Structure 1
Amino acid sequence: MTNNKLLRMDNVLIVVDNLEAVKAFFLQLGFELEGETTVEGSSVDRLIGLQNVRATLVFMRTPDGHGRIELDKFYTPDALRTGPEKAPVNELGIRRIMFAVDDIDDVVARLLAHGAELVGEVVQFGDTNRLAYIRGPEGIIVGLSEQLK
């Protein structure tokens, strides 16, 4: 048995149709743009097991530099939706990504002003934290957590 260890989580991939809307949502949330590129060719095809891939990738990071997301817009082959766009929180699979914020009311208000919607309500748990689930473009759910002092 080897002593190899997991080093870190590099990013979470979100495949999107409206790249600009989703990118704007995450910028409004507070992410910073790291870069954007288009990929295609046989090495990409072999890596992801599809043929004739052409996609734009957008890399974004949290302000502390530790959390990253990758947004992918596929031009070929077409991206597939297998379930409803507004899947409920209890649908199997990855349903949300949680982010720590310093002022949940401000972040919720900013996101709602840009077309996002609350999934439920902003809820306080004892005197430790406040949480909210926000649905953004294409049904993407993010969780927000504010630790109370």
Structure 2
Amino acid sequence: MTLQRMDNVGIVVEDLDAAVAFFAELGMEVEGRAQIEGLFADQAVGLDGVRSEIAMMRTPDGHGKLELAQYQNPAAIGDGAHNSPPNTLGLHRVMFAVDDIHDTIARLRPLGAELIGEVARYEDIYLLCYLRGPSGIILALAEQIG
């Protein structure tokens, strides 16, 4: 038995439409949306009475995917702290390669994106930054410059 591939990264969000709009502006495409409920959902995630809506987003090359999920039942839980620092335990961030980091930041700001630090230069190879998106999701952006 061998690993075939990494299929997707799942992220629970508060507002699915806002998260879809954010990642679409980043350049991802909606592959599909679906209501998820029933016995299979309860069994797979280990909760009772699961009812959620998901949107599968894919990168333009078709290889990277995010599954965004908004739970109607049971309600999503969290501490409400959407500004946890980047060194918080757990899923750290999702990184995307972009053509123009400054343009990408400018396009995402009206959708709620906030720079965590600043755009940094790594030697003459990359421009890099972290920003916070919907539901406190941390994104890393990388623009290859050399």
TM range (shorter): over 0.9
Match of 1:8 among 5, 10, 15: 5
Equivalent residue runs for 1:1-149 within 5 Å? 4-82=1-79, 84-149=81-146
SS at match of 1:111: helix
Pairwise CA distance, 1:128: 0.8
Q: Is the 8 A contact 1:86 1:138 kept in 2?
A: no
Q: Is the 8 A contact 1:31 1:60 kept in 2?
A: yes
Pairwise CA distance, 1:113: 3.0
- My pick for the range that moved more, 95-104 or 80-89, is 80-89
- My pick for the range that moved more, 80-89 or 36-45, is 80-89
Pairwise CA distance, 1:84: 1.6
Aligned length: 146
Root-mean-square deviation (Å):
1.1
Unmatched runs of 5 consecutive residues or more in structure 1: none
Distance 2:64 2:71 in 1: 23
Q: Stretches of 4+ moved more than 4 A in 1?
A: none
Distance 2:96 2:24 in 1: 13
Which residue identity lines up with residue 71 of structure 1 in the other structure?
Answer: L
Q: TM-score, normalised by structure 2?
A: 0.96
Distance 2:66 2:86 in 1: 20
SS at match of 1:98: strand
Which residue identity lines up with residue 126 of structure 1 in the other structure?
Answer: E
Q: Is the 8 A contact 2:119 2:129 kept in 1?
A: yes
1:68-126 C-alpha deviation (Å, 9 max, x unpaired): 00011111111101462211101111121001111111111111233211000000011
Unmatched runs of 5 consecutive residues or more in structure 2: none
Equivalent pairs: percent with the same residue?
A: 51
Which residue identity lines up with residue 63 of structure 2 in the other structure?
Answer: H
SS at match of 2:24: helix
